[in-house]
């Protein structure tokens, strides 16, 4: 299968054409089955059929992933149906994947100043990220999604400090550091804002380029010979790979999304 290409093909058929163990990292976001208005794909499957399909995706992915590869699966639910991501993760579990890390993609966070303690360099309340109000007395705003980090063994080393964050309180450097850098593990709560786009979004369910970027760096750039995104959409993972100088393969069944992805890639290369 030709690398650095987005193939217009069903992802399971695409993976069947790939060699066993040929991919070091899979990062993707499948349809969530919540009725999103995709151009062609129908996002309203019967739940049992959807979960069975996700199991087939897991099985095909397990075959193409290398022994010490990582699969970062981004998926969320809805306030009314928060079980979707957990149910899908369980299908991956049944197909032999270990849940090595359960990461929360934080889209929006608010921290009132009094909750921040004694940090002298923070002056006021913080409220950052994309916030879409919902009209409900029952549910809180959904400000997070999951990024399930699956591996074949549960024992795949990560390059955690490649996505490390600076210590807020510099006195901790001396207390916790090994080797003197001002970086600590980011932990499993990743704040990743959406890129600001002025025109209408051409796809109803994209993730920010920052998401695959963090996943690739966390797995370790030098251990990524080939990245696969089986649900490539408009090419966010491909752009992350181009910026990091890594080979990728993408599958996307919708020709219009693939065209937009190719256009974004052309612009990125210019």
Ligand X SMILES: C[S@@+](CC[C@H](N)C(=O)[O-])C[C@H]1O[C@@H](n2cnc3c(N)ncnc32)[C@H](O)[C@@H]1O
Q: Tell how far CA 210 is from the center of its chain.
A: 9
Please state the closest distance from residue 85 (CB atom) to ligand X, in A. 13
Strand 226-229: give its sheet, edge to edge. Answer: 5-7, 247-251, 226-229, 23-28, 65-75, 144-151, 98-106, 189-191
- Angstrom distances, CA of residue 200 to CA of 109, 203, 216, 255: 24, 9, 28, 19
Q: Does 10 bind ligand X (CB under 6 A)?
A: yes
From CA 99, how far away is CA 82, in angstroms rounded? 19
217 to 236, contacts with ligand X by CB under 6 A? 231, 233-234, 236
Please state the closest distance from residue 200 (CB atom) to ligand X, in A. 15
Q: Does 257 bind ligand X (CB under 6 A)?
A: yes
Residue pair 241/247 in contact (Cβ under 8 Å)? The answer is: yes
From CA 60, how far away is CA 269, in angstroms rounded? 31
SS3 55: helix
Helix (H) or strand (E) holding 242: helix 236-244
Nearest residue to ligand X by CB is 233
What binding mask, one character per residue, do residues 116-145 give for ligand X by CB under 6 A, x or -? ------------------------------
Q: Tell me whether residue 11 or residue 216 sits nearer to ligand X (CB atom).
A: 11
Residue pair 5/241 in contact (Cβ under 8 Å)? The answer is: no
Please state the closest distance from residue 234 (CB atom) to ligand X, in A. 4
Stretch of residues binding ligand X (CB under 6 A), selected from 76-84, 87-95, 220-228, 245-253: 245-253
Please state the closest distance from residue 14 (CB atom) to ligand X, in A. 7
Q: Does 41 bind ligand X (CB under 6 A)?
A: yes
Kindly list the residues in this chain that would bind ligand X in the complex (CB under 6 A): 10-11, 29-31, 38, 41, 203, 205-207, 231, 233-234, 236, 251-254, 257
């Amino acid at each position: 299968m030709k690398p650095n290409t987005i193939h217009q093909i069903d992802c399971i058929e695409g993976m069947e054409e790939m060699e066993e163990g040929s991919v070091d990292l899979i990062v993707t976001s499948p349809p969530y089955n919540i009725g999103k208005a995709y151009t062609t794909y129908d996002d309203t499957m019967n739940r049992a059929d959807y979960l069975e399909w996700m199991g087939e995706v897991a099985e095909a992915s397990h075959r193409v992933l290398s022994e010490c590869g990582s699969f970062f699966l981004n998926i969320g639910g809805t306030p009314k149906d928060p079980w979707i991501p957990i149910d899908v993760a369980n299908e991956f579990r049944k197909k032999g994947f270990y849940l090595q890390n359960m990461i929360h993609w934080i889209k929006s966070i608010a921290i009132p100043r009094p909750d921040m303690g004694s940090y002298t360099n923070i002056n006021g309340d913080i409220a950052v990220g994309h916030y879409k109000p919902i009209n409900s007395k029952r549910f809180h705003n959904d400000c997070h999604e999951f990024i399930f980090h699956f591996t074949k063994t549960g024992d795949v080393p990560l390059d955690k400090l490649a996505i490390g964050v600076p210590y807020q309180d510099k006195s901790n450097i001396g207390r916790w550091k090994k080797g003197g850098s001002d970086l600590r593990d980011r932990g499993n709560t990743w704040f990743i804002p959406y890129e600001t786009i002025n025109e209408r979004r051409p796809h109803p369910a994209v993730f920010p380029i920052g998401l695959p970027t963090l996943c690739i760096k966390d797995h370790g750039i030098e251990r990524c010979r080939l990245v696969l995104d089986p649900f490539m959409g408009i090419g966010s993972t491909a752009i992350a790979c181009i910026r990091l100088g890594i080979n990728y393969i993408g599958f996307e069944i919708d020709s219009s999304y693939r065209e937009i992805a190719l256009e974004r890639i052309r612009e990125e290369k210019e």
